[in-house]
């Protein structure tokens, strides 16, 4: 059986600029992957390459064995690639419910299922998009992607700019979408620690290439690669009382 998502030798960028270099990556059915890396290393560009909005220099994109390399973003979405952009991009002049139904496609995810996953959206169903908090907007953006009934969900920094309590709630929902609903998911995240408890596996990008790949659990138990490639531990040590004098 083929992997759900197969990226092979992908080299992509914008205009003349190459950002992603000869990158190969697979994702299985129901698997959740954390895509980690410092600012500007190409995480969003890799997601953009899967949804089909970058320039491709080489390589291929396959979903469930179907070659989507030459497919338009619309065709890729129809084939099952669901995407939640970093900017959330909800329709501000539509209600929550209109946002959810505007682009919906039939399948397991219905309004009822989304409201069950995010009760707050049910409470706010008649509110306009521009009346929502940041956390509610993120829930709506995820709900809208689920209503397309994708085979794979791509989340670009879903916790960015949200308060810690909201992040906890959101991660609990994302965990349920992965564990209970078996949704194959790629989550872009700059702060590794937040997301490793939710994902099965992690890759770390640097300058458009994968520099480390490991089960999430291994990185929780031994975060040395995070320190090496993201500088995570170094920052924590600087703040620890033992180093304060």
Name the site residues for ligand ATP (rule: CB under 6 A). 14, 17, 19, 37, 39-45, 190
In this complex, which beta carbon is closest to ligand ATP, that of residue 191 or of residue 217? Answer: 191
Q: How far apart are CA 231 and CA 85, in angstroms?
A: 26
**Dihedral pair phi/psi, residue 104, rounded to 5°:** -65, 150
In this complex, which beta carbon is closest to ligand ATP, that of residue 80 or of residue 208? Answer: 208
Q: Which long-range contacts (CB under 8 A, 24 or more apart) does 189-194 make?
A: 189/34, 189/35, 189/36, 189/157, 189/158, 189/159, 190/36, 190/37, 190/38, 190/39, 190/157, 190/160, 191/159, 192/34, 192/36, 192/219, 192/223, 192/226, 192/230, 192/232, 193/232, 194/159, 194/167
Q: DSSP per residue over 155-189, as a string?
A: EESTTTT--HHHHHHHHHHHHHHHHTT--EEEEEE
Taking the complex as a whole, the smallest distance from the CB of residue 112 to ligand ATP amounts, in Å, to: 34
Taking the complex as a whole, the smallest distance from the CB of residue 77 to ligand ATP amounts, in Å, to: 19
In this complex, which beta carbon is closest to ligand ATP, that of residue 99 or of residue 137? Answer: 137
Taking the complex as a whole, the smallest distance from the CB of residue 172 to ligand ATP amounts, in Å, to: 24
**Number of neighbours of residue 9 by Cβ within 10 angstroms:** 12
Taking the complex as a whole, the smallest distance from the CB of residue 170 to ligand ATP amounts, in Å, to: 18
Taking the complex as a whole, the smallest distance from the CB of residue 24 to ligand ATP amounts, in Å, to: 18
In this complex, which beta carbon is closest to ligand ATP, that of residue 40 or of residue 65? Answer: 40
In this complex, which beta carbon is closest to ligand ATP, that of residue 41 or of residue 146? Answer: 41
Taking the complex as a whole, the smallest distance from the CB of residue 160 to ligand ATP amounts, in Å, to: 9
In this complex, which beta carbon is closest to ligand ATP, that of residue 42 or of residue 80? Answer: 42
């Amino acid at each position: 059986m083929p992997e759900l998502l197969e990226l092979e030798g992908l080299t992509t960028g914008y205009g003349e600029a190459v950002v992603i270099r000869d990158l190969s990556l697979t994702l299985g059915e129901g698997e959740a992957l954390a895509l980690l890396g410092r600012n500007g290393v190409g995480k969003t560009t890799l997601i953009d390459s899967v949804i089909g909005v970058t320039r491709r220099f080489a390589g291929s994109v396959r979903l469930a064995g179907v070659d989507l390399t030459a497919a338009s973003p619309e065709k890729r979405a129809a084939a099952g690639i669901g995407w939640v952009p970093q900017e959330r991009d909800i329709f501000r002049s539509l209600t929550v419910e209109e946002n959810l139904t505007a682009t919906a496609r039939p399948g397991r995810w219905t309004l009822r299922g989304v409201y069950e996953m995010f009760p707050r959206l049910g409470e706010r169903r008649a509110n306009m998009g521009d009346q929502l908090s940041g956390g509610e907007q993120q829930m709506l953006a995820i709900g809208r992607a689920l209503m397309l009934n994708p085979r794979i969900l791509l989340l670009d920094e879903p916790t960015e700019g949200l308060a810690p309590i909201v992040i906890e709630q959101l991660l609990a929902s994302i965990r349920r979408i992965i564990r209970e609903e078996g949704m194959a998911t790629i989550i872009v995240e700059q702060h590794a620690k937040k997301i490793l408890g939710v994902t099965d596996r992690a890759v770390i990008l640097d300058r458009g290439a994968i520099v480390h790949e490991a089960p999430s659990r291994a990185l929780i138990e031994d975060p040395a690669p995070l320190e090496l490639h993201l500088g995570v531990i170094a920052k924590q040590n600087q703040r620890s009382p033992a180093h304060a004098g």
